[in-house]
Structure 1
Amino acid sequence: MTNKASFLLGTCLVLLSSNALAASGHTVSANAAASSNYFWRGITQSDDGAAVSGGLDYSNDSGFYLGTWASNVDFGETSSTSYELDFYLGFSGEIKALSYDVGYIHYAYPDAAGDIDFGEVYTSLGWRNLSFKASYLTHAQSGSSTEEDMLYLELNATFPVFKSAELGLHIGNSRGDTVMEWTGEDDSYMDYGVNLSKDGYTFGLVKTDLDADDDLKVYVSYAVDFDL
């Protein structure tokens, strides 16, 4: 594990294990999931194979939160890395009927042959069943031939359907020089998603308009979360 990833993970573990978290207004939770495929912005991160993931989260009444999340990955011949380790922190809350979230996320690949880590700042606004989120690249892997430019815009909607089920709709746009380097195509592409969730189970469909990866893909997953 790289020194950077070790520091990020250690920071999370220290904060999440503090006795102070037992005080009122502090929450620590854990999550775990298994999925037939791991998609990120419409593109598989597990070479169309299964993925197992889990994470820890801390939050308090001020709206501050931080956490860590990990999953197996498989980028085929493009990278030898076998897992992803994320670290994130931010502030979230509500102003009347409008919800907001502002934060930073670091994507680390500790066992990669080279440095392929990158980070993003993000902000989102939500109103009723709708949410809009923008994520912007703050730094990319060393030795990148691009100007490290990437912006991701997404619109999401959720609706209650049937009995205790939820329908999710998603549309996103990735753009920038880094997108072109990663995909080998244009510097912009769209991704679309629809899913149906109930009692931790999710059935979903994912599609992009990339020439090399424009097939409609199906996945199923199960997730559980609990307070510690």
Structure 2
Amino acid sequence: MNNKHSLICAISLLLAHPLALADTSASVSANVAASSNYFWRGITQSDDGAAVSGGLDYDSGKGFYLGAWASNVDFGDTASTSYELDLYAGFSGEFKQLSYDLGYIHYAYPDAAGDIDFGELYASVGWQYFSIKLSHLTTAQSDSSTEEDMLYLELNAAFPVFSESELSLHLGRSSGDTVMEWTGEDDSYMDYGVSLSTGGLTLGLVKTDLDADDDIKAYVSYALDFTL
């Protein structure tokens, strides 16, 4: 059984079986969002168009979590697919003043003309307002022999500002043969982001140093979270 099917089965069993939620510390939540653009590591995933997304999460209350998230996508002539389905599972917690998160995420495109799914292992450490996260490609489907590896290192910071608002800063670096395969440029690039959020509303700016996509782009999004 591959990673995608394993995660689907685990999510279905946990959410459908009442014993999975017998522990009062466990919880299930959902989220929906609408955005003027869907960016992933500084690059639009919706051909600079609007995106609607939603997700479902299970939290054991003891560190273990899993979930699913979906959004419409548009890769133009690069790939024929209309939506993305992310399945993930991990373990998070705190040690003294540090927070940590370890997990796996599978990016699936069920209606793609070919198999373009891929997966990543990730690990992050946070302290106060700052966090660092490393993601490493584990599986990728491609007919190209050059698509072998990808590493993403990101630094994030989030500060409370004004009244019930948050200012977020982001710096990321993608590297590896897969990056060159996907972007058609060098085997590495940087992406930058800044956003201001309040009450579910987010205003943000993103930029990369890719020659073909180096303009500063703005977006606005609104998200809602529900406890089920």
For the aligned pair, the TM-score class normalised by the smaller chain equals over 0.9
Mean alpha-carbon deviation: is it higher for 194-203 or for 147-156?
Answer: 147-156
Is this contact kept in 2: 1:5–1:110, CA < 8 A? no
Match of 2:11 in 1: 12
Between stretches 135-144 and 198-207, larger displacement belongs to 135-144
Task: Give the residue type in structure 2 aligned to 1:18.
Answer: H
Q: Which deviates the most, 134-143 or 12-21?
A: 12-21
Secondary structure of the corresponding residue to residue 11 of structure 1: helix
CA-CA distance at 1:6 after TM superposition: 6.0
The unaligned stretches of length 5 or more in structure 2 are none
User: Which letter does structure 2 place at the counterpart of 1:23?
Assistant: D
| Partners of 1:5 and 1:85 within 8 A in 2 | no
Q: Report percent identity of matched pairs.
A: 73
Partner of 2:77, secondary structure, is helix
Instruction: Give 1:41's aligned residue.
Output: 41
Q: After superposing the two structures, state which structure 1 stretch, 86-95 or 141-150, moved more.
A: 141-150
- Post-superposition offset of 1:61: 2.4
- After TM superposition, list the pairs within 5 Å mapping 1:33-182 onto structure 2: 33-182=33-182
Question: Which residue in 1 is equivalent to 2:193?
Answer: 193
- Using the alignment, how far apart are the partners of 1:73 and 1:219 within structure 2? 16
Q: Quick one: distance in 1 between partners of 2:4 and 2:79?
A: 18
RMSD in angstroms over aligned alpha carbons? 1.4
Give the Cα separation in 2 of the matches to 1:175 and 1:27. 36
C-alpha separation between the residues in 1 aligned to 2:15 and 2:144?
34
Offset of 1:200 from its aligned partner? 0.1
| SS of the residue 1:23 aligns to | coil
Question: 4+ residue stretches of structure 1 with deviation over 3 A?
Answer: 3-11
Q: In the comparison of the two structures, how many residue pairs are matched?
A: 226
User: Contact 1:53–1:69 (CA<8 Å) still a contact in 2?
Assistant: yes
Range with bigger deviation, 22-31 or 176-185: 22-31
Deviation at 1:14, TM superposition (A): 2.4
CA contact (8 A) 1:65 1:90 kept: yes
Unaligned runs of 5+ in 1: none
Does the CA-based 8 Å contact 2:54-2:70 persist in structure 1? yes
Q: Answer with 81-90 or 56-65: which moved more.
A: 56-65
**Structure 1 CA distance for aligned equivalents of residues 3 and 142 of structure 2:** 14
**Cα distance, 1:147 vs. partner?**
4.6
CA distance in structure 1 between the partners assigned to 2:9 and 2:184 by the alignment: 35
- Paired letter, 1:11: A
- What TM-score, normalized to structure 2? 0.96
